[in-house]
Amino acid sequence: MNDLESEIESLKYWKRVDNKLQRGLKFKDFVEAFGFVAKVALISEKMNHHPDLRIVYNNVDIELTTHDINGISKNDITLARKIDELM
């Protein structure tokens, strides 16, 4: 297993699906979910690495992938860890 694979395996709340990291989160209500997404947006913008986000009322689904390589990169792992720190 290479270093990138080891780092992917170390992400406790994320699962690898195809060439993406995925995580689903549930919040108290829409406002809390939207507030969380706003925090993710600010972090993502600073990194210039943007996730795919979906909000359905109090549920937030996140997908991380690096489109340039059609797979998971170090940036995805870094962003996943920063998102985990928000929780």
The pLDDT tens digits for 34-61 are 999 999 999 999 999 999 999 999 999 9
Q: What does the block give as tokens for 15?
A: 């699962």
Global pTM value: 0.94
> Taking residues 66-82, what's their average pLDDT?
96
Q: Are 7 and 52 in contact (CB under 8 A)?
A: no
Please give the domain boundaries of the chain with CATH numbers for all domains: 3-86 (3.30.1360.20)
**CA dihedral of 50, 51, 56, 61, whole degrees rounded to 10:** -160
